Chain A
Amino acid sequence: AQKVTQAQTEISVVEKEDVTLDCVYETRDTTYYLFWYKQPPSGELVFLIRRNSFDEQNEISGRYSWNFQKSTSSFNFTITASQVVDSAVYFCANEDGNQFYFGTGTSLTVIP
């Protein structure tokens, strides 16, 4: 069964626009962790955030923000005032019972 769904395969935005990347997960556990990673063209995965299931507070880090909603099993990621350097593939992931599941990724292109 698919554990993490990223329905948006590709997104293009013009620089300075805001963009939201969607992530929907499924799990039977009450304790679990959610992640976002960035994979730039260079290929190396970069960790962005880890969130546990007990903390539904939204988080903001600079231009990045995350909206965790257990009621809809979503963990969406918003980039404000996008920049060309934000162009990358973004993966949402779920740690569920010591197994890790990544979504298929959303390829973001920011056009100057």
Chain B
Amino acid sequence: DTGVSQDPRHKITKRGQNVTFRCDPISEHNRLYWYRQTLGQGPEFLTYFQNEAQLEKSRLLSDRFSAERPKGSFSTLEIQRTEQGDSAMYLCASSPGRDTDTQYFGPGTRLTVL
């Protein structure tokens, strides 16, 4: 049973560096979502893809953040010039994209910016 996987699970970086995270969705799920979660808060929606098309992006998302899903399978989330406020858990979820649109979440990537 292959669920949503994310890599790396933990990332520590220095302020100003660029980081990239990868998400592999459940096979044949055509929707993929990125969220950010900080301690004591609910997940904050960042963006989502329908196949390779990025259909929605949070209005709060800084232009230092970019996401891709080039072949409609795995996705990457890049953060440029990281800031300490970027420290959070970055969650990926996928869904079949049909009427019963259940989102299945991965374990997350924990980012710490020093």
- Chain A interface (Cβ within 8 Å of chain B)? 4, 33, 35, 37, 43-47, 50, 91, 93, 98-105
Can you spell out 12 A-B residue pairs with CB atoms less than 8 angstroms apart? A4-B42, A35-B103, A43-B89, A43-B107, A44-B105, A44-B108, A45-B91, A47-B102, A50-B101, A93-B42, A99-B56, A99-B59
* B25 CB within 8 Å of chain A: no
Interface residues on B, range: 20 to 34
Among the 9-residue stretches B16-24, B43-51, B63-71, the one with 4 or more Cβ atoms under 8 Å from chain A is B43-51
* B40 CB within 8 Å of chain A: yes
Chain A residues with Cβ below 8 Å from B44 are 102
CB-based nearest A residue for B3: A44
A47 to B106 Cα, complex, angstroms: 12
Given contacts A91-B43, A98-B55, A98-B56, 19 further A-B contacts (CB under 8 A): A4-B42, A33-B101, A35-B103, A44-B105, A44-B107, A45-B43, A45-B93, A47-B103, A47-B105, A98-B48, A99-B56, A99-B58, A99-B59, A100-B35, A102-B43, A102-B44, A104-B42, A105-B40, A105-B42
